[in-house]
Structure 1
Amino acid sequence: MPEDGRVAPGGLVAEDLDRLPDLPARTELVDGRLVFAGPQSSFRSTVVDLLVAGLRRAVPLEFRVRRGMSVILGARQRPQPDVSVVRAGAVRDDGGEPVVRVYERDPTTRAYALTGIHHHRLKLTVPFHLDVDLSRIHHL
């Protein structure tokens, strides 16, 4: 980023987020543009807790589960997914029921592609076995 504080043509790059002062905690970079997340709802927070607990029970030792961690996906892409492992899930409120979108990174193109949208149960076999009953949201 130029020293005068102006954004270069094409937008910001991922490393600029580390140098910009006074950014809100949940600031993402999408296509070179800053995106500011709004307040997190109780529903969303509870769904994230459910996912983190299920993932931590299931992940092999070489994986780590993180919540709200900034991830550099490209020069102008730095989202902050709700939950990250090898795959990132974006949790949304779908009329009172959790919806989890799972993405997988293609090792050749290094791009992320949607591999599934899960409504009542999140069940995966890659990169590890995972089975989370999303309907438990109503018991937490």
Structure 2
Amino acid sequence: MTVLVRSDAMTDSDSQLPEWLIPPAGGFTADDLDHFPQLPAHTELLDGSLVFVSPQASFHPLMVSLLEHGLRSSAPDDVRVRREMSVVLGRRQRPEPDIIVIRDTADLGPDTTAYQAADVLLAVEVVSPDSEIRDRERKPQLYAQAGIPHFWRIEREAEPTAYIHARDPRTGEYTIIDVHRGAFKVDVPFPVEIDLNEIHKL
């Protein structure tokens, strides 16, 4: 994982960076990501800083595929499941959850590059070694502040484990409402049953 910080932290050695990659005063904005075709795939924006994703171990894409299939096969007609699409949470916040569930009215067609937080019902992060702090702390905090009602965090433990969070409207923060190892069934944001151990068959 590489983070390109805001310009007030830049040094003389950073002058070797391409000009387009040097952050402006105050950091990058969510709109900037659509104007830099040179950016690597899956670049995120957190707190005005660009975050570049490191190569992933096979657990991560396989688990994302498993979750995508499970959610998509159970999704009602009024929602859509999207994989690795960024979400605009604010002017300087545009992370890319591994999976999101959105309202069908939010899908603007094949040219869509990001969704708005108000249209997201569920955000899912599969934790990787290079993103542990972001996936466990900062990104859930931002998702909750933006009003996303549900968050799942998937951990690679002795048995794949799902930490199911719901946003408390009184505090604006997530609370863990359940922890599932292996197979689990939930009713929100819609009824779905997924066996995380199926990853071993992929």
Name the TM-score, length of structure 2 as normaliser: 0.57
Task: Number of aligned residue pairs: give it.
Answer: 136
Distance 2:42 2:189 in 1: 27
Partner of 2:174: 113
Q: Which amino acid aligns with 1:125?
A: D
Are residues 1:132 and 2:197 paired? no
Out of 111, 116, 125, the residue aligned to residue 90 of structure 1 is 125
SS of the aligned residue for 1:54 comes to helix
Q: Secondary structure at the match of 2:79?
A: coil
SS at match of 2:88: coil
**Equivalent-residue separation in structure 1 for 2:44 and 2:70 (angstroms):** 26
CA contact under 8 A between 1:101 and 1:114: conserved in structure 2?
no
1:122–1:29 distance in 2 versus 1, CA, 3 Å: farther
Which structure is richer in relative contact order (CA contacts within 8 A, separation 6 or more)?
1
* Distance (Å, rounded) in 2 between the aligned partners of 1:95 and 1:18: 36
Q: Aligned residues: percent identity?
A: 46
- Structure 1's 24 and 138: CA in aligned 2 closer, same or farther, altered over 3 A? same
Deviation digits for residues 86-115 of structure 1 (CA, Å, limit 9, x no counterpart): 201001252464344555567899x77365
Q: Which amino acid aligns with 2:174?
A: A
Identify the structure with the greater helix proportion.
Answer: 2
Partner AA of 1:25 in structure 2: A
CA distance in 2, matches of 1:96, 1:45: 18
Conserved 8 A contact 1:32-1:76: yes
Distance 1:112 1:24 in 2: 32
Name the CA distance, whole Å, in 1 between partners of 2:158 and 2:79: 30
| Unpaired runs of at least 5, structure 2 | 1-18, 102-120, 128-154
Letter in 2 for 1:61: D
Q: CA deviation at 1:133?
A: 0.8
RMSD, matched Cα: 2.7
